[in-house]
Amino acid sequence: MTGAAVFEENVGVSTPQARETFEKYLRKRGLRVTDQRMAIFEAAVSQKEHFTAETLLDHARAVEKSRYVSRATVYRTLPVMTESALLREVDIGTGEKFYMPNVGANAQVAQVVCLDCDRIFEISAPFMEWYGSTVSSKLGLTPESQRLQVSARCNALRDAGSCPRRGGNGTRKPARAGR
């Protein structure tokens, strides 16, 4: 049931004409096109894996020719990008929220979180939508969204003592940069 295809490498969309799309969206919503917002946008859509607000801040500050970006602005811009469906919010219950560029139609995805390497894998799970409507209607509710997450342990780590996925992402950042 339900082809569970694993998206190992989720290629982040670069910034050829994507920039224009975001500019257009901002204007349509009556929001101003600022240097900071564009830098945060560029940093966000170029991510290949899940990222946090803190990581995004670092990358936004690394965007060339951009003005200084503050943490507050990142936090204020993230909702704009998720509302525009550019990003997807992924809450794995660790205190900090993760985000992921929304590539195409992978809206219905489940996450498999490796508790050993902190990695987040995404799996298409189209049946989630069906399930959501089914159970919601029984309660007189209209589904808005659904999330399915599996927490798991690494077999290789248990057997061989080391995790094959070299600390790609997920490796928790040590501290906070600018306070």
Partner DNA sequence: CTGCCTGCAAACTCTTTGCACGAAT
Partner DNA sequence: ATTCGTGCAAAGAGTTTGCAGGCAG
Does 37 help bind DNA (rule: CB under 7 A)?
yes
If contact means CB under 5 to 8 A according to the sort of partner, which of DNA, a second copy, none does residue 144 touch?
a second copy
Does 153 help bind a second copy (rule: CB under 8 A)?
yes
Does 19 help bind a second copy (rule: CB under 8 A)?
no
Q: Report the distance separating Cα 133 and Cα 122, nearest Å.
A: 22
Q: How far apart are the first and last CA of the chain?
A: 49
The DSSP annotation for 80-134 comes to HHHHTTSEEEE--SSSS-EEEE--TTTTSEEEEEETTT--EEEEE-THHHHHHHH
If contact means CB under 5 to 8 A according to the sort of partner, which of DNA, a second copy, none does residue 96 touch?
DNA
**Whose Cβ is closer to a second copy: residue 19's or residue 165's?**
165
Query: Do 10 and 104 meet the contact criterion of CB atoms below 8 Å apart?
Result: no
Interface residue with DNA among 27, 48, 153, 158 (CB under 7 A) is: 27
Q: Count the site residues for a second copy by CB under 8 A.
A: 38
Does 143 help bind a second copy (rule: CB under 8 A)?
yes
H-helix or E-strand containing 6? Answer: strand 6-7
What would the x/- binding string for DNA be over residues 54 to 93, using CB under 7 A? x------------xxxxxxx-xxxx---------------
